């Protein structure tokens, strides 16, 4: 087995070149297939252990190579990993069901919010219309009020009248009549104490 350092590597194309530890030796071509059992891909600076094989064009390539210090993945383990990778996965109905249930709950909540907003907007519009209607109601001004014709004041017709000979309380029928006679009719004798109140014993006392 020979040793060398990986000095160039093209990860996209999967090949590179090893500089052998042997002095004055030419660089050795290496393909990724020679390292297929390694746990990781090679990087520049790795110490490569390999066997040399001369190609038909005279160039030397590395075969049965390994990276020093990197674990080797066995063929059985590699096959199992490949089988697991190629094994079809079962559909996760449970996750899908939970996702559908969550989406349904979100849709229901969104619908409830929309209905609540519509109700609020309707109530607000109704309140605004009522307010505008109240403010738009015309109020009659003082000039628009119907004129009320002034009625000529007429004094009330008195219930009593002065009659000749009626000067005593015994001739009166009520306190009102006695007061009328005392104020309006001459010669009455109904206010003995001259206090302005007639017939105090009979009617106005």
What pLDDT digit, counting tens, does each position of 21-31 carry? 988 888 999 99
> Do 174 and 199 form a contact (C-beta atoms < 8 A)?
no
Distance of CA 178 to the CA centre of its chain: 87
Least confident range from 40-44, 126-130, 153-157, 192-196: namely: 153-157
Q: Look at residue 137 in the predicted model and tell me its pLDDT.
A: 59
Angle at 113 between CA 108 and CA 115, to 5 degrees: 95
Distance CA 57, CA 22 (A): 22
* Assigned CATH topology for domain 2-73: OB fold (Dihydrolipoamide Acetyltransferase, E2P) (2.40.50)
28 to 13, 49, 58: CA distances (angstroms): 16, 12, 12
Distance CA 167, CA 115 (A): 93
Distance CA 17, CA 8 (A): 5
Distance CA 3, CA 18 (A): 9
Give the domain ranges of the chain.
Answer: 2-73, 169-204
Is the pLDDT at 155 greater than 80, yes or no? no
Distance CA 54, CA 71 (A): 27
pLDDT band at residue 118 using 50, 70 and 90 as cut-offs: very high
Is the pLDDT at 119 greater than 90, yes or no? yes
Bridge-partner residues for 49, per DSSP? 3, 66
């Amino acid at each position: 087995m020979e040793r060398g350092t990986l000095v160039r590597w093209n990860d996209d194309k999967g090949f590179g070149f090893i500089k052998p530890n042997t002095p004055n030796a030419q660089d050795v071509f290496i393909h990724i297939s020679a390292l297929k059992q390694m746990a990781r891909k090679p990087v520049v600076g790795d110490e490569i252990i390999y066997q040399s094989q001369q190609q038909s064009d005279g160039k030397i390539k590395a075969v049965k190579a390994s990276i020093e210090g990197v674990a080797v993945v066995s063929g059985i383990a590699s096959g199992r990993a490949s089988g697991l990778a190629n094994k079809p996965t079962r559909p996760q109905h449970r996750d899908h069901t939970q996702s559908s249930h969550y989406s349904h709950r979100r849709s229901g909540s969104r619908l409830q919010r929309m209905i609540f907003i519509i109700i609020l907007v309707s109530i607000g519009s109704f309140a605004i219309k009522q307010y505008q209607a109240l403010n738009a109601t015309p109020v009659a001004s003082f000039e628009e009020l119907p004129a009320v014709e002034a009625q000529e004041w007429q004094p009330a017709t008195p219930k009593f009248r002065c009659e000749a000979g009626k000067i005593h309380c015994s001739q009166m029928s009520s306190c009102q009549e006695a007061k009328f006679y005392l104020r309006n009719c001459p010669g009455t004798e109904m206010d003995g104490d001259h206090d302005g109140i007639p017939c105090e014993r009979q009617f106005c006392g």
